[in-house]
Amino acid sequence: MSKQTIPVPDIGTTDPVEVIEISVKVGDTVKAEDSLIVLESDKASMEIPSPTAGKIAEIRVKVGDKVKQGDAILVMEGAAEASVAPAPEAVKAAAAPKTESAPKESTPAAEKPAESKPAAATAASSIETINVPDIGSSEKVDVIEVNVKPGQQIAEGDTMIVLESDKASMEIPAPKAGIVRALKLKEGDRVAIGSPILELEVAGTPSPAEAPAAKPAATVSAPTAAQPTQPSAAAPVVATQKTVAATNDVYAGPAVRKFAREMGIDLAKINGSGPKNRVQKDDIKSFVRDLIEKRGSTVAGTGIPAVPDIDFAQFGGVDIQPLSKLHKITASNMHRSWLNVPHVTQFDDVDISELEDFRGTLKAESEKRGVKISPLPFLLKASALALKAHPKFNASLLGDGERIAYKQYVHIGLAVDTPVGLVVPVIRDVDRKSIWELAAETATLAQQAKDRKLKPSDMQGGCFTISSLGSIGGLGFTPIINTPEVAILGVSKLTVKPVWDGKNFVPRKMLPLSLSYDHRAVNGADAGRFFTYLNELLSDIRRLVL
């Protein structure tokens, strides 16, 4: 496999310049124009692009080395027999014209007086139109950044604009210091050599004849070595010089700027790790990595910090099991509701002594019918009537946040605990069914749920949900609303409590209820009225038939 030594091309100066960045490592496969190293003189930094594609076999320089034209940078394996030698004109255009102290390095085009037209000169100062210098191509290119604004004092060499062709981006430095008086272009414009950039008020400007030409800071890199007369792939792209614009006060080369733009990253947010805090590609990569990590540590981009993942094995034995699909769905539904809905939970103790006495009288009939009757069917019926009497609870907010749907049916979901997780079958038209029908349907649906026989349609269309932990225990709990419903009733364990009847404390069967409601749809007063009505129905079940 052929090996080629890649030398430092003509960088527009014979002085040794410092290697400030090595952009590749041994074993890397590079394409033509990929940056190999970055050099920095006291005037500019330059990325040295690869003149050809190949694999890096050896690197002959290290950061801090001083190199000059012709010094070996690295050895490339499998490099095409391309023009490794730099294209001098392009190099000159790219590297030299940052400052007027190197006028001889300017391209002929850059020296055209048309590029800097003095206007309205006064003794003390004059206004000059600064034009786009020779950018190595006669094609129009995009203005992708305007780095200065009217009224701004700029120094010679400060980046005025950044241009981008389909092959490279170029920073156009100010040919001289002055105050920007007017901008002649904006981001998105397409410009070519000679297009006016801005009007610059220049102090103590020499006569027009002496006015120096504006010079390009960068050159368009030619795409292939097969076009030796064009600016070559080996031509260094002059990187930025520090600019004065606050928003652009970042030290980075065009390739890095382009990369940042492609990634949608604001360079100003990145701490450069290169010399003089120069931002390097790796800085952008690690910034992006950090962002992704941070995003991963927040809940779905909400900015809510995620619970950290802990290796529990460090504290003792751990058996890690996958979550069932149902568990995952329930978790996601709960989370969605918890995060979306402002929950308020209200508590009440309902005296269901009479209900329980009545239920006790149903035992024989219950056995005859083969239907077990718990307090639940009564709760379903009472809830249905309360929903009809208080339509705000029998409603759903629409996703547009502008409307609410009042339902003309009363379907109530019932939270059922099964070995594989929580399911909520829905009993339809609860308001129209008898207590026996509700008891039978509850038993059927609960059994189907436990046998995993429920169809998706059995779990749809609910207006309200009841979650009963009464057979299990607990004084009370705050149920999470089964969105898009607006309320849920939590039922806890009935206990006998002493209740003052005006003369004595009497033992009463008190059922603890909790009502969680969506405070976007329902106000506290509405909830108070709904709950009081529900309490009245349950404590005097005769009212259920009214």
Question: How far apart (Å, rounded) are the C-alpha atoms in residues 114 and 214?
Answer: 9
| Residue of 335, 343, 411, 519 marked active site | 519
Least distance to ligand CAO from the beta carbon of 467, Å? 4
519: annotated active-site residue:
yes
Q: State which residue, 162 or 538, has the beta carbon closest to ligand CAO.
A: 538
Least distance to ligand CAO from the beta carbon of 434, Å? 16
- Our finding on whether 380 is near ligand CAO (CB under 6 A) is no
List the one residue from 195, 374, 444, 483 that touches ligand CAO (CB under 6 A): 374
| Contact string (CB under 6 A) for ligand CAO, positions 337-366, x = contact | ------------------------------
Q: State which residue, 463 or 494, has the beta carbon closest to ligand CAO.
A: 494
Interface positions, 399-438, toward ligand CAO (CB under 6 A): 414-417, 422
Count of residues interacting with ligand CAO (CB under 6 A) = 20
Question: How far apart (Å, rounded) are the C-alpha atoms in residues 530 and 536?
Answer: 10
Per the CB < 8 A criterion, the answer to whether 17 and 45 are in contact is: no
List the one residue from 155, 362, 469, 499 that touches ligand CAO (CB under 6 A): 469
Both structure tokens of 317 = 């034995």
Instruction: Please identify the residue of the shown chain whose CB is closest to the bound ligand CAO.
Output: 470
- Our finding on whether 470 is near ligand CAO (CB under 6 A) is yes
Q: State which residue, 52 or 535, has the beta carbon closest to ligand CAO.
A: 535
User: φ, ψ for residue 66 (rounded to 5)?
Assistant: -105, 130
- Of the candidates 383, 352, 351, 376, the residue with the CA atom closest to the CA atom of residue 531: 383
From residue 336, alpha-carbon distances to 279, 394, 482, 483 in Å are: 40, 20, 10, 8
Name the 3-class secondary structure at 60.
Answer: coil
179-204 as b/e: b if 16+ CB within 10 A:
bbbebebeeebebebebebbbbbbee
CA angle 160–166–168, rounded 5-degree value: 50
Q: State which residue, 29 or 324, has the beta carbon closest to ligand CAO.
A: 324
Q: State which residue, 264 or 419, has the beta carbon closest to ligand CAO.
A: 419
Single out the segment in contact with ligand CAO by CB under 6 A; choices: 7-15, 45-53, 230-238, 370-378. Answer: 370-378
List the one residue from 4, 205, 243, 468 that touches ligand CAO (CB under 6 A): 468
Q: Is the peptide bond before 484 cis (omega within 30 degrees of 0)?
A: yes
The secondary element (H helix, E strand) that includes residue 175 is: none
The three state secondary structure string of 188-257 is CCEECCCCEEEEEEEECCCCHHHCCCCCCCCCCCCCCCCCCCCCCCCCCEECCCCCCCHHHCCCECHHHH
List the one residue from 375, 413, 462, 484 that touches ligand CAO (CB under 6 A): 375
Report the amino acid identity of residue 105. Answer: E
Which residues, at least 6 apart from 92, have a Cβ–Cβ distance to it below 8 Å? 10, 12, 105, 106, 107
Residue keyed to tokens 């004092």: 153
- Our finding on whether 481 is near ligand CAO (CB under 6 A) is no
User: φ, ψ for residue 531 (rounded to 5)?
Assistant: -65, -40
Least distance to ligand CAO from the beta carbon of 479, Å? 6
List the one residue from 163, 222, 252, 446 that touches ligand CAO (CB under 6 A): 446
- Our finding on whether 491 is near ligand CAO (CB under 6 A) is yes
Least distance to ligand CAO from the beta carbon of 452, Å? 14
Question: How far apart (Å, rounded) are the C-alpha atoms in residues 444 and 435?
Answer: 14
Question: How far apart (Å, rounded) are the C-alpha atoms in residues 277 and 546?
Answer: 81
- Our finding on whether 376 is near ligand CAO (CB under 6 A) is yes
Rounded-to-10 torsion of CA 525, 527, 531, 534: 110
List the one residue from 247, 273, 298, 471 that touches ligand CAO (CB under 6 A): 471
Single out the segment in contact with ligand CAO by CB under 6 A; choices: 154-162, 212-220, 336-344, 368-376. Answer: 368-376
Interface positions, 510-539, toward ligand CAO (CB under 6 A): 511
Least distance to ligand CAO from the beta carbon of 318, Å? 25
Single out the segment in contact with ligand CAO by CB under 6 A; choices: 4-12, 97-105, 158-166, 374-382. Answer: 374-382
Question: How far apart (Å, rounded) are the C-alpha atoms in residues 117 and 190?
Answer: 20
Question: How far apart (Å, rounded) are the C-alpha atoms in residues 295 and 310?
Answer: 18
- Our finding on whether 250 is near ligand CAO (CB under 6 A) is no
- Catalog residues that contact ligand CAO under the rule CB under 6 A: 374-376, 414-417, 422, 442, 446, 467-471, 479, 491, 493-494, 511
Q: So which residues are the catalytic ones?
A: 519
